[in-house]
Amino acid sequence: MNYIIMILLLLIPYMTNAQEKGTYLKKNAGAKQLMVNGEPFLILGGELGNSSAACFEDIESYFPKLKRMGLNTVLVPAYWDLTEPEEGKFDFSLTDKIIDEAKENELKVIFLWFGAWKNSMSCYTPSWFKKDYKKYPRSYTKEGKPLEIASVFSENVFNADNKAFGKWLEHIAQKDKNNETVIMIQIENEIGMLEDARDHSVVADSHFKSSVPQKLMNHLIKNRKNLNPYIKEKWDKNGSLKSGTWSQIFGNDIYTDEIFMAWFYAEYVNRMAKTAREIYDVPLFVNAAMNSRNRKPGEYPSAGPLAHLSDIWKCGAPEIDFISPDIYDKGFQEIISGYHFPENPLFIPEIRRGANNGVQAFYAFGEHDAIGFSPFAIEDGEDSQNNPFVQAYSCLNEMMPLITKYQGKGVTKGFLFDSENKERIIKDSNIIITGRHFFTLPWDQRATDGSVWPEGGGMIIRTGDNEYIIAGSGIVLTFASEGEINFSKNLGEDGFINTGDGTKDEKRWTGKKRTGILSVDEVNITSQGELKYKRRLNGDQDHQGRHVRIGVDDFKILNVKLYEYN
């Protein structure tokens, strides 16, 4: 027995070293962090357009540009149709090229497996698969119309998809032996049903008339108090039965159809994930196309890993590490809050590329301990060092040691402002922090000349008693003791109260201690997370100690120290 213990003790350093060389998720306080080579890592990413990794020339052209843009990770499609153009014959040349170019440009890679489904449709399945629709059946509408959507209920579909997926992963495992480059895998892409909320084929109808799987019922019963409100309400509305068919448990409507399909999509993906775990064990995720504009199931890609279906996906696909949103509509803050819940770290694999991506990224990392951010069609962006997005990623890359140090500890918050949402008030212990859009100050003519306000945003990290790091763009922050209210309304062009305004600040005084700004320093962050002094900002730059601000045309990192007086 002692001999066995000695052997195990000798193996521990090798086991630890092996894990440190890989990529995995690790719990840190209240957050899950992505670990790469033993260090916490933030994905400052971008996703290539759907057809931008289909030839060597494009890959060679785009990857150096992505490096210049400040990315540390690129999300790249892996196409089943080009990987297995003939049944049983595989071509991994594009995969090799992507890994080689990524290494050359010091980029990590997240591959997106475009297999049986991409944006609901089966458009990336090989020609031999598409033509043999008897062997690889399609989904059907209620009227019996066949769709270009492979049936999730077909074992032949799964076996073909999973075989190609497995062969591809085996090649990656050989090509990238130490997990040095490929750090995550997305399985399929925006799975979901269109035209109808569920498949109405004969085999699908048979499953729908059957009992809800006991595994799902056990999950509902065990987690009743913590279920997503949407699922709980559907279940409660129909009597909270402990067994029954899909209609008996959830009701007979298209919303139940969506829940039904979500279960079978999740189970399918879970089987794919088990294959991945055995071959190339890195974090695995699935992405969802959002519902918006009050569409109903079937009018958007229904049954994917949407936030309101998270319980179905969590139970049906436990091998998946997290589910993620693809964001192309309004409601950014609301959407991402739905994807940040216990055991599901926030990762945004796709978001519409735009001028506000930089401040959105700051908000996601600051407010939700995100592990990554990735605009879509990133290769079409500008790589100029004056581009706000490039500036934002440069700043975030510098901030990474501090952000990862404080992730999950409850000391970070995010700000995101526009012309309608101009203010956020945060209570931090006995200090009231008021954040506002930079244009709430009177000094920039674009604030009042009818110009569209660019989004302003950033993050604040409490690094000690009365000390904060503030970073981002287009924000102004004030600090006050509890019970004290900052007076900043109706300011004139000089930043002081307009003549004849009539409002007296002393009416707000409570007689308690006040909070003042001790110092504001613009700083750089070293790779070890240490602060490096750049310049002191005082006088006009902090409005004589009244506030801390970063203009809309800048990305900065500020070290702010406060003090109390009476």
Please work out, in degrees rounded to the nearest 5, the angle formed at the alpha carbon of residue 179 by the alpha carbons of 530 and 17: 65
Does any domain span residue 525?
yes
Same domain, 502 and 368: no
Q: What's the rounded Cα separation, in Å, for the pair 75 and 185?
A: 9
Same-domain status, 423 and 372: no
Tell me, yes or no, whether 343 and 433 share the same domain: no
CA distance 203 to 110: 35
379 and 417 both lie in a single domain: no
Residue 238 in any domain: the answer is no
Give the chain's domain count.
2
Q: What angle do CA 203, 207, 209 make, to 5 degrees?
A: 115
From 363, 383, 403, the end of a domain falls on 383
For residues 292 and 188, membership in a common domain is answered with yes
- 34: in domain: no
Long-range contacts of 463-466 (CB under 8 A, 24+ apart): 463/402, 463/406, 463/411, 466/431, 466/518, 466/561, 466/562, 466/563, 466/564
* Beta carbons within 10 angstroms of residue 78's beta carbon: 25
**Domain of 288, in residue numbers:** 44-197+258-383
Instruction: With respect to residue 138, please indicate whether it lies within any of the assigned structural domains.
Output: yes
Domain boundary at 340, 364, 383, which? 383
**Do 442 and 373 fall within a single domain?**
no
Tens digit of each residue's pLDDT, the chain (566 residues): 455 554 445 544 444 444 567 899 999 999 999 999 999 999 999 999 999 999 999 999 999 999 999 999 999 999 999 999 999 999 999 999 999 999 999 999 999 999 999 999 999 999 999 999 999 999 999 999 999 999 999 999 999 999 999 999 999 999 998 788 999 999 999 999 999 999 999 999 999 999 999 999 999 999 999 999 999 999 999 999 999 999 999 999 999 999 999 999 999 999 999 999 999 999 999 999 999 888 999 999 999 999 999 999 999 999 999 999 999 999 999 999 999 999 999 999 999 999 999 999 999 999 999 999 999 999 999 999 999 999 999 999 999 999 999 999 999 999 999 999 999 999 998 999 999 999 999 889 999 999 999 999 999 999 999 999 999 999 999 999 987 765 555 555 555 666 555 555 555 556 678 999 999 999 999 999 999 999 999 999 999 999 999 999 999 999 999 999 98
Check if the beta carbon of residue 84 is closer than 8 Å to that of residue 164: yes
Q: Judge whether 159 lies within some domain.
A: yes
* Cα distances (Å, whole numbers) of residue 264 to 307, 323, 442, 473: 17, 16, 56, 44
In a domain, 331, yes or no: yes
The answer to whether residue 276 is domain-embedded is: yes
Which of 383, 404, 432 marks a domain boundary?
A: 383
Q: How far apart are CA 68 and CA 66, in angstroms?
A: 5
pLDDT value of residue 240: 97
User: Do 193 and 305 lie in a common domain?
Assistant: yes
Using an 8 Å Cβ cutoff, are 366 and 469 in contact? no
Is the full-model pTM beyond 0.85? yes
Collapsed DSSP state (helix, strand, coil) of residue 213: coil
Looking up residue 426, the CATH number of its domain turns out to be 2.60.220.20
Q: Establish if 157 belongs to a structural domain.
A: yes
End-to-end CA distance of the chain: 69
Residues 325 and 365 in one domain: yes
Q: What CATH number has the domain bearing residue 358?
A: 3.20.20.80
Do 366 and 454 fall within a single domain? Answer: no
Alpha-carbon gap, residue 275 to 506, rounded angstroms: 68
Could you tell me if 289 and 351 lie in one domain? yes
74 exposure class (CB count in 10 Å sphere: 0-12, 13-18, 19+): buried
Q: Clarify whether residues 432 and 332 are in a common domain.
A: no
Give pLDDT, residue 500: 58
Residues 347 and 428 in one domain: no
